[in-house]
Amino acid sequence: MSEVVKGDRNLIAATRQRETLDRVLSIEIVRVTERAAVAAAQWRGRGNEKAADQAAVDAMRRELNRLPISGTVVIGEGERDEAPMLFIGEHVGNGKGPKVDIAVDPLEGTTLCAKAMPGAIATMAMAEGGSLLNAPDVYMDKIAIGPGYSKGVVDLDAPPELNIRALAMAKGVKPEEITALILDRPRHADLIAAVRRTGASVQLITDGDVAGVIHTADPETTGVDIYMGIGGAPEGVLAAAALSCIGGQFQGRLILDNEEKRERSRRMGIKDPKKKYQLEDLVTGDCVFAATGIVSGSLLRGVRFRPGIIETETVVMRSTTGTVRWIRAEHRHFQKFQMG
């Protein structure tokens, strides 16, 4: 066989694989988050966080394992010894398709779901193999803003007051017209006070910082200009995946405050424990992000159970095209959800 023919066949094979990757990333991911959302929604308001989370995990795992992919969970709910959660390093898919990285949060906002409070979602990202930061399940200090600003207008290492004033100047408004979204935690008392000293307002959330970061991408609708504070590292990578699709800036730093966490990070390939990660460090390749509402909130409508119909609403985003699709579905065949 000539080298030319062999090269052509390799190119065709690569193209076909990429077409498969496109199809998987763009369509199949929606089914995964829909299944997890419906499973968790059956536990809304029942006060059982563990059961709601487990239902979402089980449903997400079942659907992932049906996909024609060779997937590796690089952002999950723990590591191997914490199974049956979707753990970091777990292999998913039927093994007959492209290699992809998977980041999951089957139930973001377990407390929100257990209390039937707004904003619980099922979310995941899927990307080309080696594209997502393989981060440990630790805390991360984060700052995020939406698109349309010059690079570096805010910085994770700058004082909160300086970031608020710089963002206000870049937006062409007074600091009093800026709103910062921050998790309502005792650790953020000083951060909240510093933001308020500038005259800016603070919107507090009890959970759900993936959705919180996404809110910065559309401040005209959400009223949120900037996300600040410490949350989970898995949620940080998921949020960065979303911003890589819709635009914005994100910086994060892992909080590795003891030797056990530092050693765990080293085993996962983290060479610099103090590194300040930019968006492009967290997500380096083609990526698709999806989220399905569980309890209705400002981002997505929650699952609705009607006679003979289950309604879901999902947002799915693609980084290479910048396309955002809102999918409102009516499901009539309940067997696929393995309803309990």
Distances (CA, A) of 303 to 26, 40, 158, 210, 338: 21, 9, 40, 19, 15
CA atoms lying within 13 Å on the CB side of residue 296? 4
**pLDDT 10s digit of each residue in the chain, 340 long?**
455 444 555 544 544 445 545 655 677 899 999 999 999 999 999 999 999 999 999 999 999 999 989 999 999 876 544 545 788 889 999 998 889 999 999 999 999 999 999 999 999 999 989 999 988 889 999 999 999 999 999 999 999 999 999 999 999 999 999 999 999 999 999 999 999 999 999 999 999 889 999 999 999 999 999 999 999 999 999 999 999 999 999 999 999 999 999 998 998 889 899 999 999 999 998 899 999 999 999 899 999 999 999 999 999 999 988 889 999 999 998 777 776 5
Helices 160-171/189-197 angle, 10° precision: 40
Verify cis geometry, omega within 30 degrees of 0, for the bond prior to 160. Answer: no
pTM: 0.90
Cα separation values, 269 from 89, 126, 136, 259, Å: 13, 20, 10, 15
8-state DSSP, 24: I
Structure tokens at 198: 């500038």
How far apart, in whole angstroms, are the C-alpha atoms of residue 322 and residue 102?
19
Q: Which two tokens stand for residue 132?
A: 């997502």
Contact 288, 114 (CB under 8 A): no
Which residue from 14, 101, 21, 155 is spatially nearest to 282, judged by alpha carbons?
A: 101
Strands 226-232 and 304-306: unpaired
Q: Which of 234, 61, 208, 32 is nearest to 134 (CA)?
A: 234
Kindly state the greatest CA–CA separation across the chain.
Answer: 73
Q: Six-digit token pair at 183?
A: 């998790």
**Distance separating the N- and C-terminal Cα atoms of the chain:** 57
Structure tokens, 224: 């949120």
DSSP string, 113-161: HHTT-TT-EEEEEEEETT-B----SSEEEEEEE-SSS-TTSS-TTS-HH
